[in-house]
Every structure is written in C-alpha cells, then in structure tokens.
Chain A
C-alpha cells in the first residue's frame, strides 16, 4: 500500500486537514524505529487504497527535539511515496525553510497552503498557478477548517502519485541557492500587504494581555469554565444516574431474576453498578473537554504561556510547561506526550514530573461525586476550585524541590497564533473523540476493575458483603495504620488501591463496595464519613498516581526506570503528607 505523510510546522492546521480527509476513523499505530504512536488512516485515492500518516508539527528537519527526531526517523525508515507539506498560507514567506528541507530529501511533494480564509482576510493574494510552475510541485489552496478547496486535494494527490516525475528541478544546486530561489518564487507569486496584521486579535490582546489585569482575567476565565461545567453538568449527571437506576430496577432486575444469586450479584452490583456510575459522568466530561477545546483552539493557551512565563521561570519551568499542566486538566497522557517539543531534557523531565499533579477529568468525576455528597450546593463550586488551586500549588512545590536536579537550558521562543473561533464540526469531532476515549478505557480497565472489586468484597464465601472478613476488608484493615491518620477508612482504602489503575474505577468501585448506585450511593457515603474525611480523601486522590496509563506514558517518554520510580514515589509521599497535615489540622481546629 502506498504511503502519504503529512508534514508541516506547528499551528498550520495539519491535524484539522487530517481529520477533514479521514473523518473520525484515524487509528493510532506503531512504526518501525519509533517509540511513539502516530495517527494514520486509510484513504481511497483514485482506484487505490493509500495510508495517510499525520506527523507531528515541527520547525525543521535538522533539529533534535523529540518531535523532530520522530519526523526524521519516520521519513528515513518508512519513506513515504508522497508528502503533503502543509503551510499556513499567510506565513508562507517564512515556512519555505521546511519546504526546502523536504525538497532536498527528494520525496514527491504536494504543497498545501492552508487557512486561505485568514490569508484573504489579511489581504494576502496568492497566485497558485505561478507558484506551482516556479516550484515545480502541485500547489493546493484550501481551508481545512471550513472545507473550501479541499476537493482539489484528491486529484492533486492522485496525479502526484501517478507521475512521480513532478520533482523539483533545482535539486542539484547548492542549498543556499535553493532557499534564495524558493524565496524569489514565493515573493513573485504571493502579494503581502505592507501592514498585514489581525486587527481583531490586536484589539483582544490589548485587553487580555493587559500588564496588570491579564493574569487575574486568565484565572477568572478558568474559574468560569469550571463553574459552567459544574453547574450545567451536575443536573445532567444526576439525570443520567437516575435513568440508570430506573433501568436497573425496571428492566435488569426482573430479567436477571432467574440467575443464581452470585452471578446476579456480579452482574448487577459489580459490572452494572460500577459501569453505570462511571458512565453517568460522561456528559459532564465531554462538556469539560469542549470548554477546554474552545479555550485551546481560540489561542488563549499561548496567551497563558506569555502571562505565566516570568512566574514559571522562578520555578525552573517555562510558559510551555504551564500550558502542558493546563492540558493535563483534560487528560495527563496527551499532556505528557506534548512535552516532546521541549528540547532540554532537564525541563522536559521536570515538566513530566509536575503534569501528573494536574487535576484530570477522571479525578474530576471523583471530586464532583464526593462534593455533591458532603458539601452544600453553594459551597460546591468553591470546594472544587480549591482543588484546582491545590493541584497547581503542588505542581509548583514539586518543581521548586526538583528544579536544581532537572535544570532548564531551553530557549523560550513560541508562536502566538491569532484568535480563532472553533467550528461546530471541530467541536463535535472533539466530543466524539472523548466519548470514544471513555469507551476504550471503560472496556479496558473499568469493567475488569469493578469485577475484581466485587470479588474482593464478596469473597471468601460466607463473609458479609463489604464486611471486615472479606478479602477487601482484610486488605483495608492491613493498610489501616497507614491511612487512618488521614481519616481514610478501610472501604475508601480499597477504592484508592483501584484508583491506582484508573481514577474512573474509584467511584465505580465505591458503587460496588457499598452495593448501591445513584442517589442511594451518595447518601450511603454521606452517612459514613464527614466532610473532613472526604476532603482528605480528595486531596490524596488528587495528588497520588493518576493512573497506570500515565505511568506507562512516563516510562516510554522518559526512557528511564529511575525517573518513573520517582514519578510514582514522590506524589505518593506528597499525597500522604498533605492529607495528613490537612486532616490532623482540621480535626484540631474543629475539635
């Protein structure tokens, strides 16, 4: 099968084009010589099936950041039959650097000038035909976001695949001459007005990057975002939980009535209770990701990097690290992969050490659940926000402790893209992606976890379900001396142990341990623990190991066992210390 690779600088809309061409059918796959996964999808071009691979966005092929190595290794070991080089049409002048490097590799190319809508708004006029004949490669002007011009890509790729004679002619000249020729070709076919700037972006930046109000506004926006998710998401979650309960009593219990009690218990109290409790949070999580996606796609995250860099520098990090920590609020795993753009190993490791402290969406479910059970509706949003603050503070504490060990010597140069409004299509794709991600995790961890919890809380035979004689009770009692100073009882201990695998299992396993779901589970927990215990439990959940996937990602990204061990041990110690301090202090103060 022929292979087409997509190459381009960051912020050129490469992934948007990839999604536009492939729909939501992309798969993650391994490649020879690479330790990282890349997105790829099959595509029908003319009468043949080809494989389209999305490579990470990079500035040049000669650099040695992890991302750049991924691209160069891929191109060397899996030489594509064709490469689509995606260029931001309004920045074509500077992006010729990468084009020249690709031309020198001799891979047949199609030049895609993306974001023509923005270029047109800036008054930039591009003569695609002139450019095509001067460069000797096909040129497509399009907007991947709005879809205009995308239809030219099919015939262009078909033609390029068929006739690989469409190679640049200047191949034999010296490198310097090539860049000059390229520049000349671009200059004569592209008209850029002398004053080309995004007027609206400039206006918004004057407000959002205000020297004094910029940072408070940023935190205000983030607070608002969490509020919106909580206030809109909670009723939906309640409704889902009620629906799952009704389905259980109305349909499942009568249907399964004939089964032996043990099997019925396993199916209803194990699998169904666990899975439905977790599933009721999916709408809220999707909403959270959509809000984050709007902030991210709008370009506000790079403003956050700008506003926070001076502060982060004091902690041995930089603005990019801060953005990764924010991304980690969604899911830690992609945030950890995002550190590949950092060249300095010290900064990269330090950033990877703080990312797992980000309050990810899986932990959010646990907190929403406990907060609803033990705090008033008025206090709830503030309690949740306090956990986000502690998440950031513990990240800062961690970097203060380790900044001398992992020294940052990376230059800080970052693009500031114009503000953009994401389209509805992009939002829907994003939401669907999250649902799929949940289903994958559900089938991999959550069902197995819930079954295991059910077995532990119901065996050996004859022990009262969830009682002290069960295996779970024995484990809980064994760990009791370590966790009781934090106010964490044996039942919550079991949930914490399973939380090591994935945080979604925590509430799933609580449902199994208490043999309840929905509102009944909430009130059962509210009767057993008070708010101090609940907050201490949440602090521990926030800080200790987020999940197995995170650990596995740290292991592959850092390529160091010692570092992985540190990334497990440090948060565990920190979680215990902070919960201990909080619980003991709160008990003293309220005594």
Chain B
C-alpha cells in the first residue's frame, strides 16, 4: 500500500470527489486521517501500490492537489537509540532493529493527528512535518 495526501481547496471541498474517484476506478482506498472543514483540508489515503498512478491522475484531473507526504522527520544524528518512543506508537511504526537501533517506518506513521512520540524523545530528534495547508487562515 502507498500513501498519498489529497489536498482540497475551499472551491472543491464541497464536491464528493473522493467517492467519485472510488466509483469510477473501482479501486478501494483506506482513509488514514482526515483534517478537513468547509474551507478545505487534507485527507491521507492508502492505495494499493499497483494502482497509485491511476488514482493520483484521477484526483489531479478533478483539481485535487496530490502529494506523497513525508509525515515525520527523524534526525539520526540526534537520536541515540534509547527507544523512549517505541511503546507510544499506536500503529507500530517504530521498531527495534536486531542491533537495537530504532527504526521508523515512515510508510506506517500517521503523522500529525498523532504525534505521541514527539515530546517523549529525550534527544528531541523527532519532528512532525506540517503538511502545507492552503494559505487561507
């Protein structure tokens, strides 16, 4: 599964674009997180890898900005592999390697709606990547 971030604007947020794409393509998608209101917002979806290109194209045609998001940034120079973050991750995106290195699976991490690990890091090595929103405030 691949993750793509759909960004809706105030102009197109009222339209049922996601449903339309699913119906047109017949491809199942899993909504991971959604931060959205009448002024627009983001939906993070998981799509089967083989269909990603088709899905991205379909959304872009309908005026949705599609990106492959980086949700979390780990500074490996700062991290000293204590593992303080490990037990806080609700989606098991943080694992110990064989040599007890801490490994972040960026594909599994759900990013800013969670962020439980960020303030638990004594090395302050983890930052959430703020997804660029529409400029309106």
A joins B in a complex: no
